[in-house]
Amino acid sequence: MYDAKSDYDQKSGDSDMSHKVEMKEMRDMLEKLTGDKASIPTFFDPKDLAQGTYGPHIDKYLGRSPSDGPAGYIFQKVTYSAGAVASKTNVAGMYKLSPDHMGYIYHDAETGTEVRINGDGADLAGSADPTPAGISGEAKLVPGDMILGAILQLVDTRSSDNRTGFVTAGLVSNDSAVPDTYGPELANDPSNFITGSAISGGRTHAANGLKACSVASPNLNIYRPFVVATAASDLLPAYIGAPISAINVSGCTGSTSSQIRFVLNVYALVGARQKTISHYTQADPSFKMECLTRQLTEHPVSMIH
């Protein structure tokens, strides 16, 4: 005899089981889509930042082209390094994240002794010559490349016996586009022009015992990246309001100031070249621009001691 109730119960049970299977498949898919994001910390590791890197969750995309970014551009990191002049009491490394792409080392309250950290920026303290000096091949940025963020790093190679003075660092607000104006201020008076003017507050530490230090862009700016424009005819209007990454070492003795170096690490979308730095192949479907926005700095300054 046909049992309608049993048949209904069987069909209902099958439907419930099918629904549970579908829900499990949906949960598994959702976990797969969000799992990577959930495992990424909100803040960059200060130890990574102090060493000049945004860390593994960002660096794994280097050399790849975002699938939703500007066509033909590659995500790259370009590194520059320069040393201070000998026999100076105060030295300060600084970088203004702007189309001018300017990085300098200033000494004491002087002008005329500044050192360029990156030779491919506009030399506003000199001739404004856009020709990259001292950089060969394609290991440089050119007009049209897009800067997303930068980390200015201190490398103090003085021995512990000679490591005198204090290190003061901050992401500093300013009211000038002229390096010969803000450079000596940052070098000679860090209390007023770094600690007193730093966004989120500056930080100071004794040079002796400080293992690593950097000032980083708080986030990688994918929505309005700075397009490099270093030709003299492109330098106006100046980006006066752009903050300056600054690290000051004060109280150097003897000739040891020449043992202080600054390393500039610039993260950028680099236009396609024929070879090396950004040889373009094809966009990576697993790399979207939002992948670069999942983390930020807890503080612009990282000091490891």
Q: What one-character-per-residue DSSP string does 193-229 give?
A: IIITTEEEEEEEEESTT--EEEEE-SS---SSPEEP-
**CATH number for the segment(s) 46-304:** 2.60.120
Q: What is the pLDDT of residue 132?
A: 41
- Please name which of 189, 165, 152, 153 lies closest in space to residue 256, comparing C-alpha atoms: 165
C-alpha distance from residue 120 to each of 86, 131, 214 (Å): 24, 7, 21
Token reading at 237: 């209007």
Report d(CA 299, CA 203) in Å as an integer. 10
Q: Which residue, among 179, 191, 172, has the nearest Cα to 107 in the 3D structure?
A: 179
Question: How many Cβ atoms from other residues are within 10 Å of residue 298's Cβ?
Answer: 15
Sign, CA dihedral 245-52-135-248, equals: positive
Mean pLDDT, consecutive 10-residue stretches, the chain (305 aa), reads: 55 63 72 62 97 97 93 91 94 93 92 87 54 52 92 96 95 88 94 91 94 97 90 66 95 93 95 66 90 96 96
- pLDDT for residue 23: 76
SS3 content of the chain, % helix, strand, coil (to 5): 25, 30, 45
Q: CA 22, CA 174: separation in Å to the nearest integer? A: 58
Q: Is the pTM of this model over 0.75?
A: yes
Residue 59: the pLDDT is: 96
Sign of the CA dihedral 21, 22, 26, 29?
Answer: positive
Residue type, 284: D
**Half-sphere exposure of 39 toward its Cβ, with a 13 Å CA cutoff?**
8
Q: At 165, list the tokens.
A: 């003075």
Contact partners, residue 116, CB within 8 Å, separation at least 6 = 82, 103, 104, 123, 133
Please report the pLDDT score of residue 295 as a whole number: 97
Give the helix/strand (H/E) hosting 27.
helix 4-38
Query: Distances in Å between the alpha carbon of 133 and those of 30, 97, 117?
Result: 51, 20, 11
Structure tokens at 121: 């920026």
